[in-house]
Structure 1
Amino acid sequence: MDYTYRSYDALLGHIRACGRTICAFRDIGNAESFVVLRHDVDYSVVKAREMAERECHLGVRSTYFLLLTSPYYNLLAADNLRAARDIIGMGHEIGLHYDTDFFSAMDHDAQCRRVVDLARFLAESLGTEVTSIAQHNPSETAVRLCVPEYVDAYGDRFFREIAYVSDSRRLFGTLDLYGFFRTHARSQLLIHPLWWHDSEQSRWQSFTAIRDGIVQDVESRLTRMNASMEADELKLRR
């Protein structure tokens, strides 16, 4: 299976053909057979919106976990706020993606309080309810937080009591992805928008697309700032 949008659309169609309800964390309810669909937005909210649009067109709703501490995007920048609100407007759920590296010096209880603070800030910033959380890169740290106020994507209910599969590192943990969904009546599917494109792209090509987008955005901002400064300079010389 490749990482094209055509293949992604086909995968969602297969999951439905297996009789599984595809849903966001907030929408599971009492479903007996489901795939809770989740996206960790590590690199680009605008790229995530692209995937959200495809899902909306297919009648699929999922959960998009956004970082407030990403080194690659500022969620509070106008373009990213617009993209996040567009995702909400399509009917998708927004959750908090949190990175414990940013508050590793705190004790466990203080870290849990920080997660609550971040989730509330995210909700206020986007004007939406935030009820779900997901830790960033849990395999790279021994820190595990228990924040009972929120649905946790890595809690036992969604990580140990049901099946789980992810495209982390652009590598699914099974050679037969279609068979996985035929076999498991209840599962969580984690998809990173970063990897998926109209045509097949390598891992490095996906990364360079993010890099180029960041560079273009910075250059555009600096160009506008420089033009403004030059205009002020001309006024002083007159």
Structure 2
Amino acid sequence: MLISNYKSFISKFVKNGYKFIFFDELNKSKSNQVILRHDIDLDIDLAYEMAIIENSMGIKSTYFFLLSNNSYNLISDKNKKLLIKIRELGHKISLHFDMMIYDNILEGFRREQEIFNQIFNEKINIVSIHRPKKDFLKSPDNFFNIPNSYEKEYMNNISYFADSGGSFRYGNPLNSNAFKNNQNIQLVIHPAWWMINGNSVNEIVEDVIKNKSEKIRSHFEKSIKTYNPNS
């Protein structure tokens, strides 16, 4: 996909009268609301680029970041500054929690919540779950000490669309009856599928890997004086 495609995609919601809201702003008595959610699994730079675009279009969204992962270092100086910039652009930042890596899920969440709040001077009031367990999805309400994006409040009587894996598995929301009838929508967008020009998921992921490799090489060049990749 292309950046221009994302702008066109979002603009159709705006033209259809949709208002972009945060999770805690949802009013079930109203229609034409879209909760725009971004689960950041691969790259924070792409999230920042998307945040700039959304700000220029006058919309807001919630960005969820992994604290425990092998794709990026959330608390590096550079990435911390990017998250703060995303927040300054009018968006919300919060935790994308991976429950699969913990034996004690609630204790793991408590620790990550505390770390995130402390580092970013934040008090998060919503969490998105990375790879949620099936048992969790059967009864997600009030699982944590704050709401999560899979609770009935955000899934029942509200249409859910996600581009997980690089495509909308349940159909393009723009072609849905929910969109045509101005029903409330929770829309999950992963920046990598839209901010990188590729004809397939493989091409996009390979491009992400290439960019990360170049950044790591540049970091090593600056950190290790005896390292010369051109020798």
Q: TM-score, normalised by structure 2?
A: 0.87
Q: How does 1:72-151 map to 2 (within 5 A)?
A: 72-103=71-102, 105-106=103-104, 111-138=105-132, 141-144=133-136, 146-151=142-147
Aligned length: 220
Amino acid at match of 1:177: P
> Residue 129 of structure 1 aligns to which amino acid in structure 2?
K
Q: How far off its partner does 1:179 sit?
A: 2.7
For residues 58 and 193 of structure 1, the distance between their equivalents in structure 2, rounded to whole angstroms, comes to 16
- Provide the residue aligned with 1:157 in structure 2: 153
Deviates more, 1:129-138 or 1:23-32: 23-32
Aligned to 1:236: none
CA distance in 2, matches of 1:14, 1:21: 12
Q: Give CA-to-partner distance per residue, 1:49-103, whole Å, 9 cap, x none.
A: 0100000000111000000012110101111111111101101011210111210
How far does residue 11 in structure 1 lie from its aligned partner after superposition? 1.9
Q: Secondary structure at the match of 2:84?
A: helix
1:6 has 2:4 as partner: yes
Give the RMSD, CA atoms, in angstroms.
Answer: 2.0
Q: Give the corresponding residue for 2:23.
A: 25
Contact 1:21 1:31 in 2 (8 A): no
The aligned residue for residue 66 of structure 1 is 65
Which structure shows the bigger proportion of residues in helix conformation? 1
Gaps of 5+ in 1: 231-238
Identity %: 23
Moved over 6 A (4+): none
Alignment partner of 2:107: what SS? helix
| Contact preservation (8 Å) 1:37, 1:190 | yes
Unmatched 5+ residue regions in structure 2? none
Q: Give the TM-score taking structure 1 as reference length.
A: 0.84
CA distance in 1, matches of 2:182, 2:59: 19
Change (3 A) 1:71 1:176: closer
